[in-house]
A and B are shown apart, each in its own frame.
Chain A
């Protein structure tokens, strides 16, 4: 393309606006015509026309950018389509290859499982903790709330993630420096740190072994025993820690969950707490017996949203592990794998199959949400 790219896009943007206006007017006309055909009143004709005119941008966009791509990818997922070669039908081969043979895809599923089982409880726990702190009606609540939410706005920008890469460097990174300093200053902290290393490495070794299909690595890690006194976490250095680093980022970006919990805590009637206080219940007891049961719907909501988000983590993995062929597979999320598998060799057919599996998984999670919501969530206690 020889022309100026900005001018080119500006011209196309204007073209798109004209197209949308024409499509809207056309759809409005058509709607009026159909209503008139069925003998609708003048008012109904005009309302239908206006409604479709205003809603047309979405309707047209839905057809062009959602329905058509979904149908096309459903077809392509059953072909071995590689740009620039035309698609040729190969049935369910992509799906069987994905599920039965593709070790990296299985790895991405296991990584998502890890983030759900290990990362989400931590994330939800911290979010709830911060929400409870904010709910104590302190001075300067706004400033605190702002600083807790700030990571959500900044967090997925690669610039900030690059800073995390600097902080998580195992040798000279600030996080390990602080851990080292604290361990030397207070021995109990050192033990805590070693316990944390021990537990993290065993859990990660378990997941890696699960992916390998044999447990030699897990046994080796177990046999290594309790970490030595001078050990620090190897954050973004080994597959044993690559997922844990992503968990740290997830916990850092818990602001949205925190706001949801804050709204939940605000909805609890004040009288309940006052009555319990009169009966002599301490604040700890009041939290577990009053607040906690009443915010279970919010926990559940965050759990579902968090699971879907874990499937889609992309930017952190790109910034932290893109350039390492051993670390990246140990942290692939499903969407990251989708991007990599598709665009490395333009394998459209294979990528389409992955897209569909992701969509089906999200659909299943959402259905489970609707199903279980009523069963183990306390909605009305009062």
Chain B
């Protein structure tokens, strides 16, 4: 009797798990499926689960669109450049908060944690005025350079927690050998926190890649659009028939880097959520 209820319970469990997974992943499937359809099938009034004939026209069209390619390049340029500086500065600041004893450290650290409460969007208005004054509106600078000042208190916190767990003896013995703090940071501490660094890098990259509000405010010409801005304006309310296959082809190409990243970095992502979410 017990085993039968157990088996039934397990079956129900797997049905629920699989069903939920299908629902959660469905938009992705639909995006890919629509991108391979003909225009008629994409706008059909009956359900077309998969295209009757796989068409690559939409991809051919979008991949020869210079605006799309340019915004793709812009997104890569912005994300990579912003990521490099932000990651390095966060690593430096986390080192100061975990491996060095200095007066005022706790005060500054507390100050940094309390900035997590200030939503970034609440600062966009005065920051816009500032960037407007120094003629940075219409360039990529406002999207990239603020991050170089260790933008992202939660990320600093995450990295600090990992750095604090390294035994003190490691750098003490290095000191005896005459190493400087810069060397200890670069040659001893950073290699030991590779996994948390990967977590931080993943979160930062996803944040930059998905960022819509920033590029919307600061990039003002089509040639400077990043992917989120470009893709969002593909939908044109005035046209009678929406070119869904083309839009979805652009969407698939936009999300490919995220999916690849998620596939390889999911372990780091899941750990990172737990560190920042639960101890913060």
- Chain A interfacial positions (CB closer than 8 Å to B): 1, 5-6, 8-10, 12-13, 16-17, 20, 31, 35, 44, 47-48, 50-55, 57-62, 64-66, 68-70, 72-73, 76, 83, 130, 133-134, 136, 138, 143-151, 153-154, 156-167, 171-172, 174, 177-178, 181, 252, 256, 259-260, 263, 283, 301, 308, 311-312, 314-315, 318-319, 322-324, 335, 338-339, 342-343, 348, 351-352, 354-356, 358-359, 362-363, 366
- Chain B interfacial positions (CB closer than 8 Å to A): 9-10, 13-14, 16-17, 20-21, 24-25, 27-28, 30-31, 34, 43-47, 77, 81, 85, 89, 92-93, 95-97, 100-103, 105, 108, 111-112, 115, 117-119, 121-130, 132, 138-141, 144-146, 148-151, 156, 181, 185, 206, 209-210, 212-213, 216-217, 223-224, 227-229, 231-232, 234-235, 237, 242, 244, 247-248, 250-252, 254-255, 258-259, 261-262, 266, 269-270, 273-274, 277-278
Q: In the bound complex, how far is the Cα of B261 from the Cα of A233, in angstroms? A: 35
Cβ-closest chain B residue relative to A52? B102
Q: Are A163 and B24 in contact (CB under 8 A)?
A: no
Cβ-closest chain A residue relative to B213? A314
Q: In the bound complex, how far is the Cα of B29 from the Cα of A174, in angstroms? A: 12
Q: Are A150 and B25 in contact (CB under 8 A)?
A: yes
Q: In the bound complex, how far is the Cα of B74 from the Cα of A5, in angstroms? A: 10
**Residues in chain A near residue B111, CB distance under 8 A:** 62
Q: Are A358 and B119 in contact (CB under 8 A)?
A: yes
Which of B93, B140, B212 interacts with A58 by CB under 8 Å? Answer: B93
Given contacts A159-B252, A315-B228, 9 further A-B contacts (CB under 8 A): A6-B140, A57-B148, A62-B115, A72-B126, A162-B232, A318-B212, A338-B124, A352-B126, A356-B122
Which of B25, B121, B141, B258 interacts with A9 by CB under 8 Å? Answer: B141
How far does the Cβ of B64 sit from chain A's closest Cβ, in whole Å? 19
**Residues in chain A near residue B17, CB distance under 8 A:** 133-134, 138, 144
Q: Can you offer 28 A-B residue contacts whose CB atoms are under 8 A? A: A5-B139, A5-B223, A6-B77, A8-B139, A35-B103, A48-B102, A50-B102, A54-B92, A55-B92, A55-B97, A57-B148, A62-B149, A70-B118, A70-B126, A73-B125, A133-B13, A133-B16, A133-B20, A157-B255, A166-B34, A174-B30, A177-B46, A177-B47, A252-B27, A308-B119, A314-B212, A348-B126, A355-B125
Q: In the bound complex, how far is the Cα of B217 from the Cα of A314, in angstroms? A: 13
Cβ-closest chain A residue relative to B93? A58
User: With A153-B269, A335-B119 given, is the CB distance from A174 to B47 under 8 Å?
Assistant: yes
Q: Are A153 and B123 in contact (CB under 8 A)?
A: no
Q: In the bound complex, how far is the Cα of B148 from the Cα of A47, in angstroms? A: 24
**Residues in chain A near residue B278, CB distance under 8 A:** 260, 263
Nearest 10 pairs of A and B residues by beta carbon: A61-B149, A51-B102, A54-B96, A69-B126, A159-B251, A55-B96, A159-B254, A58-B150, A73-B126, A158-B232
Q: In the bound complex, how far is the Cα of B117 from the Cα of A70, in angstroms? A: 13
Q: Are B20 and A148 in contact (CB under 8 A)?
A: yes
**Residues in chain A near residue B261, CB distance under 8 A:** 153
Cβ-closest chain B residue relative to A260? B277
Q: In the bound complex, how far is the Cα of B156 from the Cα of A373, in angstroms? A: 26
How far does the Cβ of A208 sit from chain B's closest Cβ, in whole Å? 22
Q: In the bound complex, how far is the Cα of B100 from the Cα of A283, in angstroms? A: 50
Q: Are B122 and A358 in contact (CB under 8 A)?
A: yes
Q: Are A153 and B13 in contact (CB under 8 A)?
A: no
**Residues in chain A near residue B119, CB distance under 8 A:** 308, 311-312, 335, 358-359, 362
